């Protein structure tokens, strides 16, 4: 990756940015200020980019269509993130 950007904002803003942003992989919090991230995950999946979910709810808190994707239980350690990235980018 060339760099990273971390931001927290509404799902609507993220949806708009997702359509044109240049990125290699997404780490998505399942719930942003009470809004589920599912619409953003669908856009990213349509672009065939790897997705990792971060959640305090466990795998059952993931959108059903994405329960086969790597998930990190918050709070997570860097080792867990590294393993999730390796899993997410496998062909």
Residue 37 included in any domain:
yes
Residue 72 maps to a domain: yes
User: What's this model's pTM, rounded to 2 decimal places?
Assistant: 0.83
CA distance 61 to 64: 8
Task: Assess if residue 38 is contained within a domain.
Answer: yes
Residue 5 counted as domain residue? no
Q: Which CATH number goes with the domain that contains 75?
A: 3.40.50.2300
User: pLDDT for 20-60, tens place per residue?
Assistant: 899 999 999 998 888 889 999 999 999 999 999 999 988 88
Residue 42 belongs to what domain range? 11-88
Res 69 pLDDT > 90: yes
Listing DSSP states for 23-49 in one string gives -S-EEEESEETTEE-HHHHHHHHHTT-
Number of domains making up the chain:
1
The reply to whether 18 falls in a domain is yes
In a domain, 1, yes or no: no
Q: At 9, is the pLDDT very low, low, confident or very high (cuts 50, 70, 90)?
A: low
Mean pLDDT of 63-85: 94
Considering the domain boundaries, does residue 79 fall inside one? yes
């Amino acid at each position: 990756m060339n760099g990273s950007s971390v931001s927290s904002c509404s799902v609507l803003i993220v949806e708009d940015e997702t359509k044109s942003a240049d990125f290699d992989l997404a780490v998505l919090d399942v719930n942003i200020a009470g809004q589920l991230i599912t619409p953003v995950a669908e856009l990213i999946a349509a672009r065939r980019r790897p997705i990792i979910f971060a959640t305090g709810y466990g795998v059952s808190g993931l959108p059903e269509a994405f329960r086969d994707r790597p998930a990190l239980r918050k709070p997570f350690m860097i080792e867990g993130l590294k393993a999730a990235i390796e899993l997410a980018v496998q062909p």
